[in-house]
Structure 1
Amino acid sequence: MTDSVKPRGTRAADKRRRLTSAAATVLHEQGVERTTLADIARVAEVPVGNVYYYFKTKDELVQAALSEHRAHLDELTGALDGLPDPRERLKGLIDAWVSQRDTAARFGCPTGTLAAELDKRPEGGLDAEAAAVIRRLLDWAARQFRALDLPDAEDLALTLVCGYQGMSLLANALRDPEVMTREGARLRRWLDSL
């Protein structure tokens, strides 16, 4: 079915979805301050004037991008929850991070870099929304450590996520995806040692 023969509501939902996905991609690659609504419209293949129909401000697009990050995290952790062993779930998470090493080396962690940028803006609010996505990851990881009957599950989750944020930051700063590979292997060995 072509776009011209899709029902109106379906076309609108499709455009909004494309804009949300494009916002997540472009904001990750360019940052909030360097991204224009026209950049997002171009990637979404939507006329720039249509962007305002769905999102009145750039901040609304940032919120949409954060929603996209949350949905991606939920999809990933939902798939990992299908694994019977919590340690294997955590290793699967690390493997997913490492599989994105080339992207991390170019742009850093999608949510982490956005959270750091939003924290520096004079107007607040969106930084807390970015933190909520990271908190969701921490909570999921802590549940896995609790399922392993390990003490201090929240601290272990924090160590794991700090390891990821550090390796993605350094891979980006050094433009070296192998940082992700090496540190991912180290995190897997750390999990085995617990």
Structure 2
Amino acid sequence: MTHSKNIRRSSGKRERLAAAAAQVLHEKGVEQTTLADIARAADVPVGNVYYYFKTKNELVEAAIDAHMQGLRAAIDALDALPTPQERLKALLRDWVEQRDVTAQYGCPTGSLASELDKRADGLDTAVAKVMQHLIDWAAEQFRAMGREDSGELAVALVAAYQGISLLTNTFRDPDLMTAEGRRLERWIDSLT
């Protein structure tokens, strides 16, 4: 549930446009973002955007896919840690490291999900899959800790993060996320 401020210039134009779409949509929102904004962030001539994406919705879909790819990469790195508790706490630390960006713009995936929920074009279900993937992974971690209520705990963890992301953004206070991250680490420790 993170995004890179720097779009890699070495990647292909399509990938740069998708990464730029994820970044700009996070910063400006779907309705305020133009194709020119995304082209500028990707360092691609605006006319080239149409070669890869015919509509703004296709760019939004690409941004959602970029969120999923980023989540999968993060999960792969977390899965290298030896215990489910360490994996969950490392996830929390990753979230807390993004606190300044979250204070400014909110959670990249959560903000997009909230905005797309107001539309009737199916993009809301696409972004929900990203959230579901995170919940499913967290449930696996809680299950590996021997918890029969792993699904409920996973939802509680993601809900706590989304809630603190909203408050961190609303009050522009990154310290709120830091404090909640510490509380959630203690909560994870208490479940063993």
- TM-score using structure 1 length: 0.92
Cα deviations by residue, 1:56-101 (Å, 9 ceiling, x for unpaired): 0000000000011001100111000001100000000000000000
C-alpha deviation, 1:179, in angstroms? 0.8
| Aligned counterparts of 2:21 and 2:100: Cα–Cα separation in 1 | 20
Could you report, residue by residue, the CA deviation over 1:155-186 in whole angstroms, capped at 9, with x for unpaired residues?
00000000100111100000001111000000
Give the distance between the partners of 1:171 and 1:88, measured in 2 at CA: 24
Tell me, in whole angstroms, the C-alpha distance in 2 between the residues paired with 1:20 and 1:87: 33
Could you tell me how far 1:17 is from its partner in structure 2?
A: 1.0
Question: Is 1:93 the counterpart of 2:71 in the alignment?
Answer: no
Kindly tell me the number of residue pairs found equivalent between the two proteins.
Answer: 182
Distance 1:42 1:79 in 2: 31
TM alignment of 1:95-114, pairs within 5 A? 95-114=93-112
SS at match of 2:57: helix
Describe how 1:1-194 pairs up with structure 2 within 5 A. Answer: 14-121=12-119, 123-194=120-191
> What RMSD in Å do the two structures reach over aligned CA positions?
1.1
The farther-off stretch of 45-54 and 13-22 is 13-22
Tell me the distance in 2 between the aligned counterparts of 1:21 and 1:110.
Answer: 12
Instruction: Give TM-score scaled by structure 2 length.
Output: 0.93
Distance apart, 1:107 and its partner CA: 0.5
Superposition misfits of 4+ residues, deviation over 4 angstroms? none
Equivalent residue number for residue 6 of structure 2? none
Q: Helix, strand or coil for the counterpart of 1:188? A: helix
Q: Deviations over 1:97-154 (max 9, x none)?
A: 0000000000111010000000112x32000001000000000000000000012100
- Structure 2 distance, partners of 1:170, 1:104, is 10
- The answer for the alignment partner of 2:5 in structure 1 is none
Counting aligned pairs with the same residue, the percent is: 62
- Which structure has the bigger radius of gyration? 1
Q: Distance in 1 between matches of 2:52 and 2:190?
A: 49
Partner amino acid, structure 2, of 1:80: L
Q: What's the secondary structure of 2:81's corresponding residue?
A: coil
The 2-side partners of 1:51 and 1:179 are apart by 39
Amino acid at match of 1:36: T
- Provide structure 2 residue ranges, at least 5 long, that are not aligned to the other structure: 1-8
